[in-house]
Structure 1
Amino acid sequence: MSFIVLENITKSFKGVPVLKNLNLTINEGQVLGILGRSGSGKSVLINMLRGMKDYKPDEGSITYNIAICQECLRVEPPSKVGSVCGCGCGSEFEAQSVNFWDSDRKVFAAIKRRISIMLQRTFALYEDDTVIDNVIKSMIDVDYEESTYRALDILELSQMTHRITHIARDLSGGEKQRVVLARQIAKDPMLFLADEPTGTLDPKTAELLHQALIEGVKEKGVTMVVTSHWPEVMKKLSDYVIWLEKGEIIAEGNPTEIVEKFMAQVPLPEKGEEFKSDAPIIEMKEVKKHYYSIDRGVVKAVDGVNLTVDEGEIFGVVGLSGAGKTTLSRILFGLTDPSSGEIMVRLGENWIDMTQKGPVGRGRVMPYLGILHQEYSLYPHRNVLGNLTEAISLELPAEFAKMKAIYVLKAVGFDDEYAESILKKSPDELSGGERHRVALAQVLIKEPNIIILDEPTGTMDPITRVQVTDSIIKAREELNQTFLIISHDMEFVLDVCDRACLMRGGKILKIGEPESIIEELTPTEKEKMLGEE
């Protein structure tokens, strides 16, 4: 039964076309997968289906074939036509075809209320509430006792039963993402839209969450539209797949066939020259970070770490969520003070004590450090050029600023023409993957000596992932930059890193070539970081 019909959909932002004459029918209960590179139009289409502000089509129409209660304006999918409305008004649902973007304001709002959406790296939670209260608050017309049991079931689906009493603001980025998923499932939607719903999660956890989408959405007959940069997982999830390229559908049909065609065009990363250096630039000795938690007592986030990183090295810190990786990077950058230990960074011929505050301590080094956080953000009221220059106080003549911005955008995977075309775009006009690359470019453009990247491949499609791998290697070779890469993506670490260390329980268990780290992984770590059973 056709549920949503898109006819001749065209959309441009500031004269740049992002969707071109799209025609598509989504049937009730179907899971539609959307494949495509970053910037292909996936996120624009998702936002358009939801009715998000500024995403109205320039041309064409989106028609929702719905069942609607004329008494209370309750909306359901078309299979409910003829059944009695469950809100107590006693009316029957009637069939209605609604031109979504040109419909009556109340009908437009009624349809939007019945749509759940998960956007890339957006953690819309009640920060001061517990995990279970966040899920309960998303339910409509459900009594408290029933809502509690239902919330527990949904949190079990999303692998969050171990955190139900934790406050939302204290969760990691991946945990917040799982709570967002639980909240959206709890809304009992008629349409579920998921734009890279597991972008920052390790492969195994992402697969578990995709399974949650199958059990909590697909198997209940809820229509779903999902984008993902893990095509193999998407192949298992979708009933039908379209491949978007520069706003056009270039292939569609059977998920297995379309995914294979898409993956056939993914290049292999280039191998850089063999790295050789005997000049350390970072030295950490017996570094500890302990803190007290009411729930868990003394937590040893970092516990006696000894680490040396050489100048020009690409060094990986790998481990599961909670191993202490991000805390270690924050200590090095000066965002978190260690409980004890020594952290030294070499600047020229001088070694600087990073535990010492002020202009003669770590303040002297900070201009030469760059960091891309897992939960990065761009300045929303500045365009891309402004984000790369003015927003980070990089004072350059106008023409040189433009040239340098284009150069660094090319380094993170944009081609010449497209790099120039997005300079005047604001962040909200970019896809999630494009924003991620601009954030990486924002770090690289300052040409820091040491760059810390926390989960740098989180929302990237396979092609962009290879381009970023190549750009990191190129930056090292051309600028002699040192990289510390925090990641649970072992495949990425194997491609890009010279050496790596394995963290577990706040300790470093092994340091060596990335291939040697695999030998030390537990079966659980192999599952979650390599996707191996």
Structure 2
Amino acid sequence: MSFIELKNVTKSFNDVKILKNLNMTIDEGKVLGILGRSGSGKSVLINMLRGMKEYRPDDGQILYTVAICPECLRVEPPSAAGKICGCGCGCEFELKTIDFWNSERQVFAAIKRRISIMLQRTFALYEDDTVIDNVLKSITGHDEEESTYMAIDLIEMAQMAHRITHIARDLSGGEKQRVVLARQIAKEPMIFLADEPTGTLDPKTAELLHQALIEGVKNKGTTMIITSHWPEVMKKLSDHVIWLEKGEIIVEGDPDTVVKKFMDQVPLPEKKEVYKTGGPIIKMEGVKKHYYSIERGVVKAVDGIDLEVGESEIFGIVGLSGAGKTTLSRILYGLTEPSSGNIEVKLGENWIDMTQKGPFGRGRVIPYLGILHQEYSLYPHRNVLGNLTEAISLELPAEFAKMKAIYVLKAVGFDEEYADSLLTKYPDELSGGERHRVALAQVLIKEPNIIILDEPTGTMDPITRVQVTDSIQRARDELNQTFVIISHDMDFVLDVCDRAALMRGGKILKIGDPVEIVEDLTPKEKEKMLTEE
């Protein structure tokens, strides 16, 4: 039965059309996949379907055909029409087609309450609460015992039972994402929206999340709309796929057909040649970061790391979520104090002790380091040009600032005309993938000696990923920059890195050629590592 229908939907931001006369129908119980590059309009469409006020269509209609109780306004999928409302009012659900954005306020709110959404790179958890308390807070309409059993079942489905009493802030990014999923399913939605839900996750954790979406959403007959630039996600989860490009549907059909046409457009990266790096520029010896958690006891986030990175080397650190990769990068940058160990960075001819605070210690090096965090953020009240200049204390003459900003935006995959149009936009006017690339540009524009990138391709489509691969290699070649890259994206690591290290349980297990490291990440090896953890 038809559930959602879009009729000639158009949306613009600053006179730029993001969605252009979209028409589509989504049946109850089906999974629609939306495939497309960053900036194609995927996130705008998802937020519009959710009812976020900034995303009201300029033209067109979004029609929800629902079963609605005339007494209490409870809303269910259309197949519930004629059934008795379970709220105790005794009324039958009536079948109605609602013009969502032009409906009465109470009806609009009633539909919105029945829609759950997972946003990319957003870990909407109560940080000081345990995993089970986070899930329980999303459950309504059940008694305490039933709610507890529901929460436990959902946590097990998300394969987080081993963390059930852990505090949310102590979880890794991948673990937080799985708890977010459990929370959203706990709301028992009639529609589930997922915007790039696995973009920043390692392959094993992404597979766990996909399985949870299949088990907790798809197999239960919940209507789902999922956006992604990853073809594997479309094939695994979707019944029908649309390819969105610059706000228009250019291809739609079965997942295999649409995915093949999409991947035919992806260029191959420039062939990586063997690069001769300089002597060491980073030295780490016996680096540890242990901390105490009431729930978990002593946590060995980083546990005795010895590592050298050469000047102008592109060095990758790979491993499953929770392996300690992000903690290691924060220690290197000086954001997290190590429990013990030595860390030195070469500046000119001098070796600087990064464990020493102040202007004669790591304060000398920080201006020459750049870092892109996994949970990056831009300054919301500054436009893109401001984010790339004044906001990071990069004071340049106006025309030169604009030229440099456009140059670095081109380096992260925008064409020149679009880069120019981006300069006056604010972060909330950009797609998730565009914000990610601007954040990367914000790091690159200061031309630091050493650049630390934590999941730099997480929300990037395959075409943009190739462009970023090429730009990193050019930056290394032209500016002699050194990169330390934390990534779950094995293809990216193979394409861009000179060497890579494999981390598990806070330790480095192996350092070598990226091909050797990736070969150690076979499904069988990953399963063994996960079991050992």
TM-score by length of 1: 0.97
Secondary structure of the 2:306 match is strand
What secondary structure is seen at the aligned counterpart in 2 of 1:117? strand
Q: Report the equivalent of 1:412.
A: 412
- Report Cα offsets for 1:99-127 as digits up to 9, x if no partner: 11111111101110010011111111122
Q: Show the counterpart of 2:312.
A: 312
Q: Show CA shifts across 1:367-415 (max 9, x none).
A: 0000011111111111111111111111011111111111111101111
SS in 2 for 1:183: helix
For residues 166 and 424 of structure 2, the distance between their equivalents in structure 1, rounded to whole angstroms, comes to 42
Q: Distance in 2 between matches of 1:460 and 1:132?
A: 32
Q: Which residue of 2 aligns with 1:403?
A: 403
Residue 56 of structure 1 aligns to which amino acid in structure 2?
A: R
Q: CA deviation at 1:463?
A: 1.3
Q: Is the 8 A contact 1:320 1:525 kept in 2?
A: no
Q: Which residue of 2 aligns with 1:43?
A: 43
**In 1, are the aligned partners of 2:436 and 2:459 still within 8 Å (CA)?**
yes
1:53 is aligned to 2:53:
yes
Checking the alignment, whether the CA contact within 8 Å between 2:174 and 2:205 is kept in structure 1 is no
Question: Is the Cα–Cα contact under 8 Å of residues 140 and 187 in structure 1 kept in the other structure?
Answer: yes
Amino acid at match of 1:307: L
What residue number does 2:217 align with?
217
Question: Cα distance 1:527–1:33, how it changes in 2: closer, same or farther (>3 A)?
Answer: farther
For residue 60 of structure 2, give the secondary structure of its aligned residue in structure 1. strand
Distance 1:297 1:83 in 2: 51
- Check whether the contact 1:320–1:528 (CA below 8 A) recurs between aligned residues: no
Aligned counterpart, 1:354: 354
- CA apart distance, 1:521: 4.6
What is the deviation of 1:293?
A: 3.0
The CA distance in 2 between the partners of 1:88 and 1:231, in whole Å, is 45
Q: Deviations over 1:435-461 (max 9, x none)?
A: 111111110011100000111121221
Pick closer, same or farther for the CA change 1:468–1:527 going to 2, 3 Å.
Answer: farther
Matches of residues 117-516 of structure 1 in structure 2 within 5 Å? Answer: 117-516=117-516
Q: CA deviation at 1:347?
A: 0.8
- How many pairs does the alignment contain? 529
Give 5+ residue unaligned stretches, structure 2. none
Distance 2:163 2:48 in 1: 34
> Could you tell me how far apart the structure 1 residues matched to 2:56 and 2:296 are?
49
- Please state whether the residue corresponding to 1:134 is helix, strand or coil: helix
Residue 69 of structure 2 corresponds to which residue in structure 1?
69
Q: Which residue of 2 aligns with 1:28?
A: 28
Contact 1:207 1:233 in 2 (8 A): no
| Residues 478-527 of structure 1 deviation map (CA, whole Å, 9 limit, x = unaligned) | 11110001123222211110011122222222222112224545755446
Q: What is the deviation of 1:278?
A: 3.4
Between the aligned partners of 2:205 and 2:460, the Cα distance in structure 1 is 17
Secondary structure of 2:491's partner?
A: helix
Aligned-pair CA distance for 1:232: 1.6
In the alignment, the residues of structure 2 paired with residue 28 and residue 272 of structure 1 have an alpha-carbon distance, to the nearest angstrom, of 47
User: Conserved in 1, the CA contact under 8 Å of 2:412 and 2:441?
Assistant: yes
CA–CA distance in structure 2, aligned partners of residues 204 and 509 of structure 1: 18
TM superposition shift of 1:314: 0.1
Q: Secondary structure at the match of 2:302?
A: strand
Supply the AA of the counterpart residue of 1:485.
I
2:293 and 2:191 map into 1 onto residues whose CA distance is 40
Query: Does the aligned pair in 2 maintain the 1:205–1:528 contact within 8 Å?
Result: no
Task: Name 1:81's counterpart in structure 2.
Answer: 81
The answer as to whether partners of 2:205 and 2:320 remain within 8 angstroms in 1 is no
Q: CA RMSD in A?
A: 1.5
**Distance in structure 2 (CA, Å) of the matches to 1:525 and 1:318:** 14
What is residue 5 of structure 2 aligned with on the other side?
A: 5
> In 2, Cα distance between the equivalents of 1:474 and 1:384?
23
How far, CA to CA, are the matches of 1:415 and 1:193 in structure 2?
30
Alpha-carbon separation, structure 2, partners of 1:159 and 1:438: 34
User: How many Å separate the matches in 1 of 2:92 and 2:64?
Assistant: 18
**Closer/same/farther in 2, CA of residues 13 and 245 from structure 1, 3 Å limit:** same
In the TM superposition, residue 356 of structure 1 has moved relative to its aligned partner by 0.8
Q: Which moved more, 1:171-180 or 1:14-23?
A: 171-180
Confirm or deny: 8 A CA contact 2:278 2:312 kept in the other structure. Answer: no
SS in 2 for 1:232: helix
Instruction: Give, in whole Å, the separation in 2 of the partners of 1:498 and 1:231.
Output: 27
1:39-60 deviation digits (Å, cap 9, x = unpaired): 0000010011111011111111
**Alpha-carbon distance between aligned partners in 1 of 2:384 and 2:95, rounded to the nearest angstrom:** 45
Distance 2:385 2:346 in 1: 32
Deviation at 1:341, TM superposition (A): 1.6
Measured in 2, the distance between the counterparts of 1:440 and 1:80 equals 47
- Alignment TM-score, normalising by the size of structure 2: 0.97
- How far residue 528 of structure 1 moved from its aligned partner, in angstroms, is 10
Shifted more, 76-85 versus 454-463: the winner is 454-463
CA pair 518-4 structure 1, distance change in 2 beyond 3 A: closer
Summarize deviations over 1:405-442 as a string: whole Å, max 9, x none. 11111101111111111111111111111111111111
SS state of the match for residue 217, structure 1?
A: helix
**How much has 1:294 moved relative to structure 2?**
3.1
Give the superposition deviation at 1:167: 1.3
* Offset at residue 67 of structure 1 (A): 0.9
- Which is further off, 500-509 or 231-240? 500-509
Which whole-Å deviations, capped at 9, do the CAs of 1:66-117 have from their partners, x for residues lacking one?
A: 1111100101111111110000000111111111111111110111001001
Aligned residue type for 1:206: A
Whether the 8 Å contact between 1:157 and 1:209 is mirrored in structure 2 is no
Aligned partner of 2:111 in structure 1 is: 111
Say which is worse superposed, 223-232 or 7-16, in terms of deviation: 223-232
1:219 deviates by 1.5
Q: CA deviation at 1:136?
A: 1.1
Structure 1: how far apart are the matches of 2:520 and 2:22? 49
Write the deviation string for residues 233-260 of structure 1: whole angstroms up to 9, x where unpaired.
3212111100000000000011110011
CA contact (8 A) 1:189 1:222 kept: yes
